[in-house]
Amino acid sequence: MKNKVVTPDEKQINRRITKNTFAKGIFFLGTLFGIIVLAALLIRIFTQGIGYLDFDFLSNFASRRPEDAGIRAAILGTVWIMSITIPVSLILGVSTSIYLEEYAPKNKFTHFIELNLANLAGVPSVVFGLLGLTIFVRLLEMGRSILAGGLTMSLLILPVIVVASKEAIRSIPQEQYEAAYAMGATKWQIIRTVVLPAATPGILTGAILSLSRGVGETASLLMIGAMTFIAYIPASVLDGFTVLPIQIFSWASRPQTEFQAVAAAGSIVLLVILIVMNSLAIFIRNKYSKRY
């Protein structure tokens, strides 16, 4: 029998199949490595901290004794910070994205602003902490307060919300604008009744994911002087505060083995909060994407 002659096209196809198989294997190994590391981290945290996770841990304040240490002040401090960060960042972020997409002229200056917003989304959090320390703590004399921390956190996640909101607004089909204009709607009526409802899934998804990042931030709040030990509940936005990541960092930095387990229990609480927030983002996206 004669050997089958392989044509140049078949050789090229075989090379492509080989490259595709190789790339697929690399991607699979990368994904598998990430899953293994994550599983090992979760197993370590849960096995080390689950014994300290009870009602007393959630209701007690921080203590120098690991058996009496709790996370109440850190949870309430996180709630205080988010109560300022959420409205400030959402209002400013969505308003900025609407202006840039719907009202701002398409010129070099607008492009320059959009480019810098995209760059700010990747700036390290410690830079925003220095900015908050300079402006809010010292220049505006807010001190090391909840208000200064909330505004600093708003600066941190604001670029991400703006970028996500702009992409959500930009994804709306042009036909919806034309149909609204054909019915005699004004610019603001179109934004209120067409743009915002259709862009809600993307805006809220980006906002919740940004807030999830803010909940886990430490560096920016440490820069403005957030406390690592607090034994009282803040009564106003001008009081001192601590948050979950800083409290966990404080426990993890202590030499006693028991405090390492307490830090792991705090990490479990933080993980649960982040999972709930990310699940909420997925639920909102799926719910509203079916309508528009």
pLDDT digits (tens, 9 = 90+) for 117-176: 888 877 888 888 888 888 888 888 888 888 888 899 998 888 889 988 998 888 888 888
What are the tens digits of pLDDT across the range 215-245? 888 888 888 877 777 777 888 888 888 888 8
What are the tens digits of pLDDT across the range 68-86? 888 888 888 888 988 899 8
3-class DSSP string for the chain: CCCCCCCHHHHHHHHHHHHHHHHHHHHHHHHHHHHHHHHHHHHHHHHHHHHHCCHHHHHCCCCCCHHHCCCHHHHHHHHHHHHHHHHHHHHHHHHHHHHHHHHCCCCHHHHHHHHHHHHHCCCCHHHHHHHHHHHHHHHCCCCCCHHHHHHHHHHHHHHHHHHHHHHHHHCCCHHHHHHHHHCCCCHHHHHHHHHHHHHHHHHHHHHHHHHHHHHCCCHHHHHCCCCCCCCCCCCCCCCCCCCHHHHHHHHHCCCCHHHHHHHHHHHHHHHHHHHHHHHHHHHHHHHHHCCC
Confidence (pLDDT) at 26: 93
The Cα 166–Cα 24 span in angstroms is: 33
Other beta carbons within 10 angstroms of residue 233's beta carbon come to 13
Other beta carbons within 10 angstroms of residue 47's beta carbon come to 11
By the 8 A CB rule, do 246 and 74 touch? yes
Place of tokens 């920016």: 220
pLDDT surpasses 70 at 53: yes
Other beta carbons within 10 angstroms of residue 105's beta carbon come to 7
Confidence (pLDDT) at 92: 92
For the segment 178-193, the average pLDDT, to the nearest whole number, is 85
Q: For the domain covering 55-290, report its CATH number.
A: 1.10.3720.10
Q: How far is CA 257 from CA 145, 253, 261, 264, in A?
A: 32, 10, 7, 11
pLDDT surpasses 60 at 43: yes
What are the tens digits of pLDDT across the range 272-284? 888 888 887 778 7
Mean model confidence pLDDT for the chain:
84
